[in-house]
Structure 1
Amino acid sequence: MDITLELMKHSILEGERILLRPVGLVDAADMFEYASDEETTRFVFETHRDRAMTEEAIANYFMAAPAGKYALVVKHTKKMIGTIDIRPNMNDRIAEIGYTLNKDYRGNGYMTEAGKLVTALAFEVLGMEKVFAMHDILNPASGEVMKRLGMQPEGVLRRHKVFKGRSCDMAYYGILNEEYLLQASEV
C-alpha cells in the first residue's frame, strides 16, 4: 500500500460538527490566534511571535508535506480551531496521532470528534494494528482526549524528550485494532 497516496485520497474527513481538511495559508489568522498563546502552546510547540512565524510553520510543515495533516474546522462557523495529524509507520503497522486545539474551544468535544475520524482512517483504511499518542504528564487534559478515543494508558516514558528547556516525562496511550473494532461495534 502506498501510504502517502492513501492519505492524500483521504485529505478531507467530515464529522458531524467538524471538517478535517488540508492546512493552507488561508488559515494563518486562525492559527496565529492560538499559536501565539502561551497556554495553548505550552506542551506542543514554540509560541509564535508574529503572523510571519505562523505562515512559515504552515508552509514548511503543513504544506510542504501535507499527507496526514489536517486543519480542524467547525462546520457552522468555518473557523479553523486547531490541527490534528497522523504519522503512520507501515513497517510496524502503528500510527501516532498528535493535536493542538485553540483553548477557547476546549470542552466541546471537537478534538474527540477529530480523533475518532483519524483513528477510523488508521484502522479502517490504512490497516494499522495500533494507534498511539503521548502527552506531557503535566498536561493531563490531553490524556482525557486519548481515553475518550478508547486508548489505554500503557506507561510513562521518563525524560522522553526535552522541550522548551525542560526534560519531559511522557504518558503513552494506545488502542489496538481489535479494541477499536469492539468499541465501534458497541456504538
Structure 2
Amino acid sequence: MNKQPSLRTERLILRPFGLSDANDVRRLAGERAIASVTLNIPYPYEEGMAEEWISGHQESFEKRETANFAIVRIEKEILIGAIGLMLTQEDQRAELGYWIGRPYWNNGYCTEAAKTVLRYGFIRLNLNKIHASHFKRNSASGRVMRKIGMSHEGCQKQHVKKWEFFQDLELYGILRRDYQAEQFSKKTDKDNS
C-alpha cells in the first residue's frame, strides 16, 4: 500500500483526510458561498456525502489518480479547507483544485497550501505541468493562481453549467521548467542578499 504523505508549511499541515473530518467538511464546504464558486461541490451538502468523498481518497491515491489533502492550521489543529491534484499520469500533468472555508478567507492560507502542493507535484510526483481553472466571477481564486506562479492560458466561454447558469472558465498553468527557473531565481536572490 502506497501511503499518501503529509506536507507542512509555516502555518499549515496538509494531510490525508480521515472520516473524523467529515463533519467539518460538511459544515465548511456545505456553505452556499463555497459551493457557488466551485464546480464539483454540491449544495446542499447532504449527510453522508463527505464520508463517501473521503472514503475514496486512499484508493484513488494508490491508483495515482488523485492526491487530496486536508488543510489544517497547525495552531489548534483546525481543518480549514481542502486542496488536491487530479492526476493524468500518461501526460505527467495534474489539475489543482482547492477550497477554503469562509471563516478562513483572506488570510493567505490557500496560497500557502498551493505553493506546497506545487512543489510536491513537480518534485515528488515528477509532473511536467500543473493547471487550474476558476469561474470568471471568482477572481480571488485567480489571484491565488497568479501568486503561485501560474500563467493565464485563456478563457473558455460558457464552458460549464453551475445551477442552471453557464460559467466562463479562466485557465491557468505552470510548467515544471518555469517552476524550477522561478525557484532558482528566488534562491539566487536570497543568496545575494
What TM-score do the two structures reach when normalised by structure 1? 0.87
Instruction: Output aligned runs, 1:174-185, within 5 Å.
Output: 174-185=173-184
Q: Distance in 2 between matches of 1:75 and 1:98?
A: 21
Segments of 5+ residues of structure 2 without an aligned counterpart are 188-193
For the 8 Å contact 1:84–1:99, the answer to whether it is kept is yes
Structure 2 residue aligned with 1:46, among 20, 42, 45? 42
Partner of 2:92: 93
Q: Distance in 1 between matches of 2:46 and 2:167?
A: 27
Cα deviation, residue 136, structure 1:
0.6
Describe the superposition over 1:110-136 as per-residue Cα deviations: whole angstroms up to 9, x where unpaired. Answer: 111111111001111222121110001
SS of equivalent residue, structure 1 residue 171: strand
- What is the identity, as a one-letter code, of the residue corresponding to 1:28? A
* Number of equivalences: 180
Cα deviation, residue 183, structure 1:
1.6
For the 8 Å contact 2:57–2:67, the answer to whether it is kept is no
Partner of 1:24: 18
Q: Distance in 1 between matches of 2:160 and 2:45?
A: 23
Stretches of 4+ moved more than 4 A in 1? none
CA RMSD of aligned residues (A): 1.9
Cα deviation, residue 64, structure 1:
5.2
Describe the superposition over 1:125-149 as per-residue Cα deviations: whole angstroms up to 9, x where unpaired. Answer: 2221211100010111100110111
Instruction: Output aligned runs, 1:157-172, within 5 Å.
Output: 157-172=156-171
Cα deviation, residue 150, structure 1:
0.3
Describe the superposition over 1:87-127 as per-residue Cα deviations: whole angstroms up to 9, x where unpaired. Answer: 12122221111001101111111111111111001111222
Partner of 2:60: 65
What TM-score do the two structures reach when normalised by structure 2? 0.85
The 3 A distance-change label for structure 1 pair 128 and 80 is same
For the 8 Å contact 1:48–1:54, the answer to whether it is kept is no
Partner of 1:111: 110
Q: Distance in 2 between matches of 1:55 and 1:39?
A: 21
Cα deviation, residue 53, structure 1:
3.4
Tell me whether 62-71 or 91-100 shows the greater mean CA deviation. 62-71
Segments of 5+ residues of structure 1 without an aligned counterpart are none
SS of equivalent residue, structure 2 residue 127: coil
Correspondence 1:36 to 2:35: no
Question: Sequence identity of aligned pairs in percent?
Answer: 32
Cα deviation, residue 49, structure 1:
4.3
- What is the identity, as a one-letter code, of the residue corresponding to 2:111? T
